[in-house]
Amino acid sequence: MTKFLVFLEQREGVLKKSSIDAWNRVQEIAALSAGAIVTGLLAGPVDRQRIGDLLAGDGVVYHANEERLRPYQQESYTRLVTSLVKQESISALFFADSSLSRDLAPRLSVLLKASLLSGDLLFNRQGYPDGSFRPVYSGLATASFSPQRNISIYTLSPSRGMVIRSSADGTVQVMPTAQYHHSSDNLLAEVRRIVLRQNSLDIAEAGIIVAGGRGMGSSAGFALLEELAALLGGAVGASRFAVDEGWRPHAEQIGQTGKTVAPQLYFACGVSGAPQHLAGIASAGIVVAINSDPDASIFQVADFGIVGDVHLVLPKLIEALKEF
């Protein structure tokens, strides 16, 4: 029987939306793959009752409910995953595409002698093992993959808008992992705490993103986007140009060399819509573009477009939302 393992990420004790989305995606892949069994692994403290409520479909989640696993530790997490993969004879290990999986998955692939298929991976009707593919050359072509090893590791792109389904359609059992021992003496580094910038949301988790590019003019120009994001309860994102200029941190970069995002609502303000940027928003829901150039490529993918100067349009939009 083929067994899948989904690595579920938490941040500060809250199960990440991108991991819930990955779990749901893997349930679909399992259904396409002669009914493979889905198991999960969660490291760090999370309310156990909530886990079962949030995950749809059937399966078992192994929960390593240990305080010291709250922050991501490369070596501890590696040992935890490798031991469970061996113990449960896992055939395929799945991650949501994230900073953590970009760090952990390559390491696991070496240690487990596993095929690694990374970066925005999708599955067609063939399911596992031969149905995986992903867009390449900025979406101009599609590459399909067949793993060559007994164990495969995949990182999955988020589904469109990351709409989280109800768990009413199945039973997810949550079980503690066997107490997991390690010696901290041989850790090369220990992450004590990961702090996000004050009041900032992780763009990979956000339901609404207000992104800016060169058209914002300067780092000060992003104050408008911060105000709009705060009003909408969203996160600020940026094009690579804005990040390269030092206007915004790299954690906010969206696109091929930044993060893949899947908000329900995406604002692109002063962003031209280069293929490398669009690669990061393929799973976004509604796209709203504000650009002074009526021929900007972003309008080809936008559901709503406003031709105009961001410095004139955004204050009006903010004003209208405040009155709303």
Residues that bind ligand FAD (CB under 6 A): 213-215, 239-242, 253-258, 270-272, 274, 276-277, 280, 290-293, 296, 309-311
115 labeled binding residue: no
255 labeled binding residue: yes
| DSSP-derived 3-state class of residue 211 | strand
Give 129 or 217: the residue with its C-beta nearer to ligand FAD: 217
Residues 6 or more apart in contact with residue 61 via CB below 8 angstroms: 8, 39, 40, 41, 42, 51, 52, 55, 172, 173, 174, 175
Residues 6 or more apart in contact with residue 174 via CB below 8 angstroms: 48, 51, 52, 60, 61, 63
246 is written with which tokens? 């030092």
148 labeled binding residue: no
Are the CB atoms for 160 and 123 separated by under 8 Å? Answer: no
Are the CB atoms for 74 and 99 separated by under 8 Å? Answer: no
Question: CB of residue 186 vs ligand FAD: minimum separation in angstroms?
Answer: 36
Question: CB of residue 309 vs ligand FAD: minimum separation in angstroms?
Answer: 4
239 labeled binding residue: yes
214 labeled binding residue: yes
Give 90 or 204: the residue with its C-beta nearer to ligand FAD: 204
Give 190 or 244: the residue with its C-beta nearer to ligand FAD: 244
291 labeled binding residue: yes
Question: CB of residue 93 vs ligand FAD: minimum separation in angstroms?
Answer: 26
- Cα–Cα dist 231/319, whole Å: 10
Question: CB of residue 237 vs ligand FAD: minimum separation in angstroms?
Answer: 9
Give 234 or 255: the residue with its C-beta nearer to ligand FAD: 255
Question: CB of residue 293 vs ligand FAD: minimum separation in angstroms?
Answer: 3
Give 25 or 248: the residue with its C-beta nearer to ligand FAD: 248
Q: Measuring CA to CA, how many Å separate 16 from each of 34, 195, 232?
A: 28, 16, 20
| DSSP-derived 3-state class of residue 272 | coil
Residues 6 or more apart in contact with residue 136 via CB below 8 angstroms: 142, 143
254 labeled binding residue: yes
**Annotated binding-site positions for FAD:** 214, 239-240, 253-257, 270-277, 291
**Annotated binding-site positions:** 214, 239-240, 253-257, 270-277, 291
